[in-house]
Amino acid sequence: MLNIRRTLNRLPKVDYNGIGDSTEIVIQEPKTKNSVRSIPLMQVIIKELQQWRNVQFADARTAGAVYDDSGFIVTNQIGGYIEPRTFKDYYDEILEASGLGHYTFHALRHTFATRALEQGMDSKTLFTLLGHYSVSFTLDTYTHILDSQKHEEMKLMEVLFSMPTVPQNQLYPVVVIPALNGFILNAVDFDDLTVEADNIQYGISCIQSTIVQKLTSCYPPSPTPTNELVLNIGEFVVMINI
pLDDT of residue 40: 93
For residue 68, the tally of other CB atoms under 10 A from its CB is: 15
pLDDT of residue 156: 75
pLDDT of residue 20: 62
Kindly indicate the confidence band of residue 165, based on its pLDDT and cuts at 50, 70 and 90.
low
CA distance linking residue 233 with residue 176, whole number of Å: 11
Choose among 161, 163, 162: nearest CA to 220: 163
Quick one: angle between helices 106-118 and 143-161, nearest 10? 20
CA distance linking residue 20 with residue 239, whole number of Å: 99
pLDDT of residue 162: 66
Checking if the pLDDT of 146 tops 60, the result is yes
**The domain over range 171-241 is classified in CATH as 1.10.238.10:** no
Checking if the pLDDT of 168 tops 80, the result is no
CA 195 to chain centre: 49
pLDDT of residue 90: 93
Percent of the chain predicted with pLDDT > 70: 91
How wide is the angle at C-alpha 94 spanned by C-alphas 130 and 4, nearest 5°?
A: 25
Give per-residue pLDDT as tens, 34-58: 899 999 999 999 999 999 999 999 9
CA 207 to chain centre: 45
For residue 219, the tally of other CB atoms under 10 A from its CB is: 9
Say if residues 190 and 177 touch (Cβ distance below 8 Å).
Answer: no
User: Any idea where the domains of the chain sit in the sequence?
Assistant: 2-119, 171-241
